[in-house]
């Protein structure tokens, strides 16, 4: 804390920190948006009416002047000092007052927040994640990362337009702010992507909060979402249970978000279409209990291949996707294509499969998924192999 004899130290420190943050951010901007920002920046701090090109030139001069002064004096020089030196020596600046305190606070707020939702932006997410993860490591505390996005948000934009989409993004941000503790952080890290950092929170606490946020958001948009199933999907990763590195925790949370989105999409498909008796359930995570089957056991005889699929399939040709047959983990089959209703496998002709069998699917992007399959058809394939079409069975 500054002493009474140093009243300006805190303000100067804030200005210097902001300018350093600004300089680092501008390095990653293209020429046009960089010039546009600098034009408004010089107008705000010194009431200078400069063109975008002149604003960019002055900024480069300021950076170069700071390097020269640092070399000459043998110590670091603040950007503010270099800025005063450059602008005061020009014909533009008459009064060397750079910034009112209220203007500084406004610029600091704009540099740290997303303009639409007023949540912290991705840059602050990276900084706070590093800080909180280091704190959790040092004191052996839990830290939960929650990554969320809006389910079927593109359909909202396509059907109702981007202004309505922006309204839902603001609603999501308001829901996050109302649901969090003062020690937690909420960020907008992408178009419809959000992130939460929950300090001192384990998996159970994070899941409870995420479910409450999802329910609160559903209630907030229920009256205006029409036929679009808009919802907040989420994935959670917790230090130290899931890892102790930032990129590992982000990857795991992303995978779990994708898994929830996949399961939710499969549920929506089943609601829109009455599934045939032998095609019932989408994927289940490994280890998840299977619901009791209400369908009769299939006949051992393989019925003819259906002419038209209930669900469209995605080709996985050329990928490393494979299925590990649960009856014998040493036996594998190549996954040819995949859909919400079933999967097609290719395997050696000698492999014998019953009318119903279990397998673990290993598909790029998704985590391993344990499924129960019913054989629908079997036809010869090239190279002495057979292609087996299967439906997911609960």
Residue 59 lies in domain? 9-112
Q: Which of 238, 263, 232, 237 is nearest to 252 (CA)?
A: 237
Tell me what pLDDT residue 366 has.
67
Task: Determine the average pLDDT of the residues in 272-297.
Answer: 40
> What stretch of H or E contains 390?
strand 385-392
pLDDT band at 280 (very low <50, low <70, confident <90, very high): very low
Tell me what pLDDT residue 253 has.
93
Residue 188 pLDDT greater than 90, yes or no: yes
**Is there a single domain that holds both residue 126 and residue 265?**
yes
**Is there a single domain that holds both residue 17 and residue 73?**
yes
Q: Among 82, 112, 142, where does a domain finish?
A: 112
pLDDT band at 108 (very low <50, low <70, confident <90, very high): low
Tokens of 341: 């209703």
193 within 8 A of 254, measured Cβ to Cβ = no
d(CA 368, CA 284): 10
Q: Distances in Å between the alpha carbon of 357 and those of 154, 302, 390? A: 37, 14, 10
Q: Among 83, 112, 141, where does a domain finish?
A: 112
d(CA 332, CA 90): 74
**Is there a single domain that holds both residue 288 and residue 374?**
yes
**Is there a single domain that holds both residue 268 and residue 149?**
yes
Q: Which of 112, 134, 108, 109 is nearest to 123 (CA)?
A: 112
Tell me what pLDDT residue 304 has.
44
Q: For residue 8, give every residue at least 6 positions away whose Cβ sits within 8 Å of its Cβ, in sequence order, or none.
A: none
User: What CATH number corresponds to the domain at position 333?
Assistant: 2.40.10.220
Directed axis angle between helix 31-46 and helix 9-27, to 10°? 160
Task: Determine the average pLDDT of the residues in 163-174.
Answer: 91
d(CA 129, CA 54): 37
- HSE-CB at 382 with a 13 A cutoff on CA atoms is 1
Task: Determine the average pLDDT of the residues in 160-171.
Answer: 89
Reported as a single tens digit per residue, the pLDDT across 355-386 is: 888 888 887 656 778 888 888 888 887 777 88
Q: Among 112, 145, 173, where does a domain finish?
A: 112
d(CA 311, CA 390): 12
């Amino acid at each position: 804390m500054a002493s009474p004899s140093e009243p300006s130290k805190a303000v100067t420190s804030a200005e210097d920190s902001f300018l350093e943050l600004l300089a680092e951010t501008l390095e990653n901007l293209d020429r046009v948006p960089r010039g546009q920002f600098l034009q408004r920046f010089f107008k705000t701090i010194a009431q200078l009416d400069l063109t975008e090109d002149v604003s960019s030139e002055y900024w480069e001069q300021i950076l170069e002047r700071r390097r020269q002064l640092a070399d000459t004096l043998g110590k670091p020089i603040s950007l503010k000092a270099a800025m005063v030196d450059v602008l005061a020596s020009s014909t533009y600046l008459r009064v060397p007052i750079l910034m009112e305190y209220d203007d500084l606070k406004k610029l600091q707020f704009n540099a740290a927040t997303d303009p639409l939702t007023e949540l912290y932006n991705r840059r602050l997410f990276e900084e706070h994640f590093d800080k909180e993860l280091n704190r959790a490591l040092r004191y052996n505390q839990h830290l939960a990362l929650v990554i969320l996005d809006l389910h079927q948000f593109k359909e909202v934009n396509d059907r109702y337009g981007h202004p309505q989409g922006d309204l839902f993004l603001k609603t999501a941000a308001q829901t996050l702010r109302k649901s969090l503790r003062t020690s937690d952080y909420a960020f907008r890290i992408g178009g419809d992507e959000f992130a939460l950092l929950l300090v001192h929170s384990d998996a159970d606490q994070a899941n409870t909060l995420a479910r409450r946020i999802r329910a609160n958001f559903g209630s907030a948009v229920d009256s205006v979402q029409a036929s679009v199933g808009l919802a907040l999907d989420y994935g959670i990763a917790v230090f130290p249970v899931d890892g102790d590195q930032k990129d590992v925790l982000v990857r795991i949370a992303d995978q779990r978000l994708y898994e929830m989105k996949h399961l939710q999409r499969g549920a929506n498909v089943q609601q829109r279409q009455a599934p045939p008796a032998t095609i019932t359930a989408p994927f289940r995570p490994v280890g998840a209990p299977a619901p009791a089957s209400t369908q009769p056991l299939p006949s051992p005889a393989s019925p003819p291949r259906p002419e038209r699929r209930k669900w469209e399939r995605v080709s996985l040709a050329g990928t490393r996707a494979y299925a590990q047959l649960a009856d014998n983990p040493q036996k594998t089959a190549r996954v040819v294509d995949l859909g919400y209703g079933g999967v097609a496998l290719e395997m050696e002709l000698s492999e014998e499969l019953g009318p119903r069998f279990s397998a673990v699917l290993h598909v790029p992007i998704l985590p391993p998924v344990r499924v129960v399959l019913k054989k629908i058809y079997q036809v010869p394939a090239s190279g002495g192999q057979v292609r087996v079409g299967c439906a997911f069975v609960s």
